[in-house]
Each structure stands twice: as C-alpha cells, then as structure tokens.
Amino acid sequence: MNKTWLVALILCMSFAPSSWAVLAKLVRQEIRTTPSGGQVLVCIYDAGDREVERVYPMGNFCPQYTDA
C-alpha cells in the first residue's frame, strides 16, 4: 500500500467515528401488547450507558447482540 492510500484511509477513519458500531448485549425479553391488541416481542439490550429496545413480530427470537 503506498503512502497516499494510507493517508486517505487514516483521514476517512478519523472523520467517520459514527461508522464504528457499538454492540449491545441482550439482557431480557418481554412480550407486550400493542394498542391494537396484538402482541410483539421486545428485546432489551445493554448498550453501556443506556438500554436499547428492538421490537419484533411474534414468532421471532432475540439475537444475543445488536448494534446500538
């Protein structure tokens, strides 16, 4: 890899810190009722400083990790 490509790569990585995904680990799951009376699976993840929820239709499962 020549020096020009290396400098370009470093610049791209330094200006795009949001491109690094943070993985959140599953801590619990719940079944909730929607306002229309249906049910959904809610997966709650620990993202370090906060909890993140992902909602899936019934019949699915919660992945062990998700991006936060």
Where do the DSSP E strands lie in the chain? 23-33, 39-46, 51-57, 65-67
The CA–CA distances, whole Å, from 33 to 21, 24, 45, 50, 55 equal: 30, 24, 19, 23, 11
Residue with the larger pLDDT of the pair 15 and 28: 28
Q: According to the model, what pLDDT value does residue 57 have?
A: 96
- What's this model's pTM, rounded to 2 decimal places? 0.67
pLDDT at residue 6 greater than cutoff 60:
no
pLDDT digits (tens, 9 = 90+) for 18-58: 556 678 999 999 999 999 999 999 999 999 889 999 999 99
